[in-house]
Amino acid sequence: MYIIFLGAPGAGKGTQAATVAQKLNLAHIATGDLFRQAVERGTELGVKVKSYMEKGMLVPDEITIQMVLERLVASDCESGVILDGFPRNLRQAKALDSALAQQARAIDKVVYITVPEEELLRRLSGRWLCRQCQAPYHATDSPPKVWGKCDHCGGELYQRPDDTPQTVRERLQVYFAKTAPLVDYYNQSGKLLEVDGAGEKAEVSRRIVRAIHGSLAAS
Ligand code: AMP
């Protein structure tokens, strides 16, 4: 099963993709996380992508598509995958479709998480992440028990450098110009499941799992 999680920055894609992947026993591929790890480690890929990420721009398609297609052949992807943050434009979506078609496979469902724009800004500006395990926190909604430390692994919490107000504005613009058209693309193929991303994280996860199970049962 191949499921894409679509939504604006701050919609909760990463958090929800990680939770739902665990519940459904699927691999979770988050392109933003893969790029951030590469930057942290100072790899060749990290050096190439750092400046795009800092500016809130998309990494060039050639680099992104190659990275994802290489990741998709790993053994943990055999029983299925949740793609989080990919595809981000039509060219990536079409490249993914044709790579899967070559193996007689296809995207099964696209979960589109919707959140009002003011709420996206609020979430992004208060967001903190664990440097070690990537667990997400929010300064007021879900603070850690000890400020600056991850509840799960004790890792250091940090704010993403691209969560500054100026870069957030750029990322939202990029999202509305390049990624939002994918909603129509997947809607036309009948794969889109629109899910309200407002409210408690656990409740949103339940909505997503219900939507996926409901649509699989109907098809
Ligand atoms: P994210 O963690 O999904 O918000 O991604 C962080 C940054 O990584 C984005 O602002 C882009 O610079 C880069 N990135 C992540 N996924 C993609 C993608 N599919 N295509 C191009 N750039 C990406």
Distance CA 54, CA 47 (A): 12
Q: What's the CA-to-centroid distance between 209 and ligand 1, angstroms? A: 25
pLDDT at 217: 85
> Could you tell me the two tokens for 131?
């440097």
Contact partners, residue 171, CB within 8 Å, separation at least 6: 9, 56, 162
Task: Identify the CATH assignment for 2-117+180-218 out of 3.40.50.300, 3.60.10.10, 3.30.1370.140, 3.10.129.10.
Answer: 3.40.50.300
Per-residue pLDDT of the chain (219 residues; tens, 9 = 90+): 999 999 999 999 999 999 999 999 999 999 999 999 999 999 999 999 999 999 999 999 999 999 999 999 999 999 899 999 999 999 999 999 999 999 999 999 999 999 999 999 999 999 999 999 889 999 999 999 999 999 999 999 999 999 998 999 999 999 999 999 999 999 999 999 999 999 999 999 999 999 999 998 887
Q: Is 7 in the pocket of ligand 1 (CB under 6 A)?
A: no
Which ligand 1 atom sits closest to the C-alpha of 68? 19
> Could you tell me the two tokens for 57?
């721009």
pLDDT at 218: 84
* Ligand 1 atom 1: residue of nearest CA: 32
Residue type, 151: D
pTM, whole model, 2 decimals? 0.93
Distance CA 172, CA 9 (A): 7
End-to-end Cα, the chain, rounded Å: 14
Contact partners, residue 211, CB within 8 Å, separation at least 6: 111, 193, 195
Q: What's the CA-to-centroid distance between 34 and ligand 1, angstroms? A: 9
Counting runs of H as helices and runs of E as strands, what totals does the chain give? 9, 8
Q: What's the CA-to-centroid distance between 217 and ligand 1, angstroms? A: 32
Catalytic residues: 13, 88, 127, 160, 171
* Domain-wise residue ranges, the chain: 2-117+180-218
Contact partners, residue 76, CB within 8 Å, separation at least 6: 27
